[in-house]
Structures are given as C-alpha cells and as structure tokens.
Chain A
Amino acid sequence: MAKIETVDANLYYGDFHALKNISMKMEENTVTALIGPSGCGKSTYLRLFNRMNDLIDSTQISGQILVDSEDIYSKNINVDELRMKVGMVFQKPNPFPKSIFENVAYGLRVNGEKNKTYITDKVYESLRQAALWDEVSDKMNKSAFELSGGQQQRLCIARALAISPSVILMDEPASALDPISTAKIEELIHELKKQYTIVIVTHNMQQASRVSDFTGFFYLGELVEHGATAKIFTQPNNKQTENYITGRFG
C-alpha cells in the first residue's frame, strides 16, 4: 500500500492550470525526488500533501490526493492534524524568532502538549535525529538566529521531526546552503529514510541522484516521467527528461 498517492490531480491558480492530471505513488520509507525546471509545478505538487496551497486564494483542486489511503481533501479531514502527520522543510531556513529549544518545541506546544518532561525529551531526541545536538546542546536558550545557515536548516528539520510525522516534505532544502552544509543535509536524509517517507523537490541533479530512490520529472505542470532514480538518470524513456538531466535545457 502506497504511503502517498495522487490520482489525476489537477490544480488551478485562477485561470492558470498549474498541475495537469498527475498520478503518482510513493511507498513508505523511500525518498522520492521531484525535479524539473523552475515553474514546472514540482513545488506546487509537493504542497498538495500538507494542503499548503490552501493558503493561496483562488486555488482549485480536483482529483484524489491520498495519504495513508485517506483523501486529504475530503470534508472530514482536519488540516492541522494532517500537517502533524506530514511535516515540511522549506527552501530557505526559516526558524522562528525564538530560542533554539522553543523552535523545536513549537509544534508540540501548539498542538496542546503540556507535559514538560515529554517536551524536553522530544526536543532533545529530534535535535539528535537532525544531527544538530552536538552543536547546540549547550545553547538551548540562545536565539535560533545565532546559528549558521546550515545549522538553521537542520534546526528546521528537527522542528519538523518533533511532532512525529510519518512523511517529510522538503522543498529544495539545501538550495540556500554551502556545499558542506548540503552534504550534511543529504547524509541526514539517508538516515531519516529509515523511519520516514520523504519527498524532496530539488534543482540539483546530483543531489536527486544521490539521495533519492525514485524520481519524478515535471515539465509545464505535467509529470513527464516517473520511476526508479537509477533508471531515470541512466536511461530515461523520454527525450525531454534526458535533455533536462544532461543539462541541455532548463
């Protein structure tokens, strides 16, 4: 049973047809990379899974989007609960103007967790999982803005992990980072795969090939090709995919 599945997903921004009949499946404990040139719809597609597109007025969605076989756009779905299950890491590190500890604890607090020891344990655990613990264990109460860009992004990952999601969406998580920080994030993705289902949007072909098990290539709102990463990067079926991967356009 697929962890995430879309059947004929369409999305319109007003008159603009941003996603066209996308059908795709993602299995549990795998990493799926979404690639394609800017404006191809890959980020929009990613944001379907935690209903982030709801925030934009005049979006219309059709088709089925299933997480754990549940249609997440049906009436009886609680969006806040969905977002606890489907965590997200953004393009640029975006810590809150709070302490390191409070950043990670935020998701627990807004979801009503009051037990102090549970919160503390969970925060520490998440920081360890995000491979940040060693660097911040002695400055829990310092502002998150004092961290470097790479550390901030790992903090954002820890923040997403703290509410125990089963899916993690990553929207170009390393695009604003230096190579060393990027390597750390990629290493982290490998680790996290054991427990989570990960969908990652990236511009970086090497990154996609390094971290993902499956790859989907988007172009002009369509899913052009989708399959095992090894296959897509070595012998794509589609000419457009090949051109993009080999850097002949985009």
Chain B
Amino acid sequence: MTLERRKELERSKKRSEKIAFGTFRAMSLLVVGILFVILGFIIIKGISVISWDFITKMPEDGMTKGGIYPAIIGTFCLIGGSMIFSFPIGVLSGIYINEYASNGLVVRFIRLMTNNLAGIPSIVFGLFGMSLFVNTLGFGDSIIAGSLTLGLMTLPIVIRTTEEALKSVDNSFRQGSYALGATKLQTIRRVTLPIAYPNIITGLILSIGRVSGETAPILFTVAAYFLPKLPHSIFDQVMALPYHLYVLATSGTNIEESRPMAYGTALVLIMIVLFLNLIANALRKYFSKKVKMN
C-alpha cells in the first residue's frame, strides 16, 4: 500500500468514526429530549390547573370543573391495598429463593415463572382479576379486587428487588453469624435483612410507582367512571387517577371543556411518579454511603 493510500484510508476511518459517533450522540440527545418534551408539555399545560381546590374537591359539572379529590384518595387506597398484599409475600418469596431454596432447578423454575408473571400484559391481569376476584370470589368491583389484581402484578418487582438486595449481602456476614451458633432464621432476621433492607425499600417504592400509574388492571376490577364520594369499606368502588385521566381524555361528557382537568390530572400523576423516583434514588444513594462507612 502506498503512503498516499494509507493516509486516505486513515482519513476515511476517522471520518466514518466521526459520523457514527455524532449520529449516536444525536440520537441519545433525541431520546432524552423526548422525555423533556413530554414532561415539559404536561407541566406547562397542567401547572395553571393545579390548586388546593383541584386536589381537595369533588369533580363538578360533568367533570369539567372542580377537583380530582376522590381519584387521588382512590389511588392511595389501591396503593395501600396492593402493598399490604404484595410486599410481605414478595419479600418472603425473595427470601425463600435466595436463602432457602437449595435446589438449582427449583430456583431456576421459580425465576422463570417470576419473569413470566412480570411479562404478562397488564390487561391480562385485568381479565384475570375480573374473573377470579370480581366474579368467582364475588368481591364485585371493589378496592379489594383491584388491590389484589395490582398486588399480583407488582409481585415480580418486589421479589426481584428483594432477591437482588439479598444477593448483594456478602456471604461473610452470614458465615460470621453461623459461626456464632445462630440458626438460619436468626441469621436472616438479625444479619441479612438489616443489611439488605434499604434496597428492598427501593423496590417497594418502585412498585408503588407502578401501581399508581396502571390503568388496564383496574378497568374491570375497581375503577369508577364517576363517583363523587369516598369509599367506606374495601368492598366499595373508587375512582383512580390513571383511569380518571383516561376518562377525561377520551370519554368525558365534554372532552374539550374537561381538557384542563385532564392536564391537571396528568401532572398530578407524573408528579407522584417523579417524586417516588426521586425518593428511591435518594434512598439508594443515602444507604450506599452508609454501607460503605461500615
């Protein structure tokens, strides 16, 4: 190869690298830009709607005025209900997989099933919840039916984060405890769990985020189109933020006039999700510092 050709080749190598890297950088900026456009749009449109009245009043005038109070309360009921169900069972399940199950095949099977459960579309959970909780068990459209459905859906998240958290606990801690004559259970309770629990909490917060935004599973298990009163028992229906947004956006009595309400609801939803994400990240940082200090 002549020197001329050599130089030419080197130049073309440099050129194609520049083009490729430039393209990738541009595409990455585009993706980040998309997020900011979505967030920015909802915040700008929604911020003027949000007021104290908006979050503490019942909807009025065919949902074109008033607030979204019952939907907020409903969403909190569902968060609480689903967590009562999925958090303990999920954590126990995670403990079983990581600490007790010794047979590799069993662990692999359970993990496979957990992954499968995590991959099932949310609408299928809705169908299942309707068939089992609403109809077969006779709960009707109710907080309990919706919570159980949502809880089932978030189980894989809780299980996985628990498992990850336990896995990251160094084995030397466990061996140290066993060496002192502690039983397996004592070791888990007094050594492993305390070290792992910050990460488990992060998982809990992430699943709360998921619950607060899901619509499809509650469509047929709990969500009320319009119900301007608060629930009295777990067998009552409630409104919920994501479904309320769907109703306002697509099937309200007066879509044009309820649009501001929709922007406000979307903003409240996004703020909840953002807030939970921030807390999860902050916790993760805080605890990782603390563990390092030890």
Residues of A whose CB lies within 8 Å of any CB of B are 78, 80-81, 111-113
| Chain B residues near A (Cβ < 8 Å) | 1, 5-6, 9-10, 12-13
The answer to whether B1 touches A113 (Cβ under 8 A) is yes
Q: Could you say which of A81, A112, A113 has the most chain B C-beta atoms within 10 Å of its C-beta? A: A112
Q: DSSP class of A's interface residues: helix, strand, loop or mixed?
A: loop
Instruction: Closest A residue to B12 by CB, please name it.
Output: A112
A-B contact count (CB 8 A): 12
Q: Judging by beta carbons under 8 Å apart, are B1 and A80 in contact?
A: no
Residues of B with C-beta under 8 A to A112: 1, 5, 9, 12-13
Q: Name which residue of chain B comes closest to A115, CB basis.
A: B1
B145 CB to closest chain A CB, in angstroms? 51
Query: What chain A residues lie within 8 Å of B6 (beta carbons)?
Result: 81
A78 contacts B1, CB within 8 Å?
A: no
Complex Cα–Cα for A112 and B5 (A): 9
B201 to nearest A CB, angstroms?
A: 33
* Interface contact B1-A81, CB-CB below 8 Å: no
Interface of B is mostly: helix
Provide 11 A-B residue pairs closer than 8 Å at the C-beta atoms, listed in order of the A residue: A78-B10, A80-B10, A80-B13, A81-B6, A81-B10, A111-B9, A112-B1, A112-B5, A112-B12, A112-B13, A113-B1
Report B12 CB to chain A, min CB distance, Å.
8
> Which B residues touch A111, using CB under 8 A?
9
Q: In the complex, A80 Cα to B5 Cα: how many Å?
A: 15
| Chain A residues with CB under 8 A of B10 | 78, 80-81
CA distance A81 to B13 in the complex (A): 11
**Bound Cα distance A113, B1 (Å):** 8
List chain B residues, Cβ under 8 A from A78.
10
Identify the closest chain B residue to A81 (Cβ): B10
Q: How far is the CA of A113 from the CA of B13 in the complex (A)?
A: 13
* Smallest beta-carbon distance A50→chain B, Å: 16
9 new A-B contacts, CB < 8 A, other than A80-B10, A112-B9, A112-B13, are A78-B10, A80-B13, A81-B6, A81-B10, A111-B9, A112-B1, A112-B5, A112-B12, A113-B1
Chain A residue numbers with a CB within 8 Å of B5 are 112
B14 → chain A, closest Cβ, in Å? 9
Which residue from chain B places its CB closest to the CB of A111 in the assembled complex?
A: B9
Report the Cα distance A81→B9, complex, angstroms. 11
A78-B13 Cα distance, complex, nearest whole Å: 11
Q: Provide the residues of chain B in CB contact with A80, threshold 8 Å.
A: 10, 13
Identify the closest chain A residue to B5 (Cβ). Answer: A112
Q: Which residue of B lies closest to A79 (CB)?
A: B10
The minimal Cβ–Cβ distance linking B226 to chain A, given in whole angstroms, is 58
CA–CA, A112 and B13, complex, Å: 9
Closest CB in chain B relative to A105 CB, distance in Å: 15
Q: A80 CA to B10 CA in the complex, in Å?
A: 8
Q: Give every chain B residue within 8 A of A113 (Cβ-Cβ).
A: 1
Task: Provide the bound-state CA to CA distance between A187 and B114, in Å.
Answer: 55
Smallest distance from the beta carbon of A51 to chain B beta carbons, Å? Answer: 15
| CA–CA, A81 and B10, complex, Å | 8
Identify the closest chain B residue to A112 (Cβ).
B9
A248 to chain B, nearest CB (A): 32
B17 to nearest A CB, angstroms? 10
> Smallest Cβ distance from B139 to chain A, in angstroms?
55
Whole-angstrom CA separation of A113 from B9 in the bound complex: 9
Name the A residues within 8 Å of B12 (CB-CB): 112
Shortest beta-carbon distance, B21 to chain A, in Å?
Answer: 15
Rounded to whole Å, the gap between the CB of B22 and the closest CB of chain A is 19
* A81 CA to B6 CA, complexed, in Å: 9
Closest to B9 in A: A112
Q: How distant is the Cα of A238 from the Cα of B1 in the complex, in angstroms? A: 48
A81 to B8, CA, bound (A): 12
Q: Which 10 A-B pairs have the closest CB atoms?
A: A112-B9, A78-B10, A80-B10, A81-B10, A80-B13, A111-B9, A113-B1, A112-B13, A81-B6, A112-B1
> How far does the alpha carbon of A180 sit from the alpha carbon of B292 in the complex, in Å?
46
Closest A residue to B10 using CB positions: A78
CB distance from A68 to the nearest CB of B (A): 15
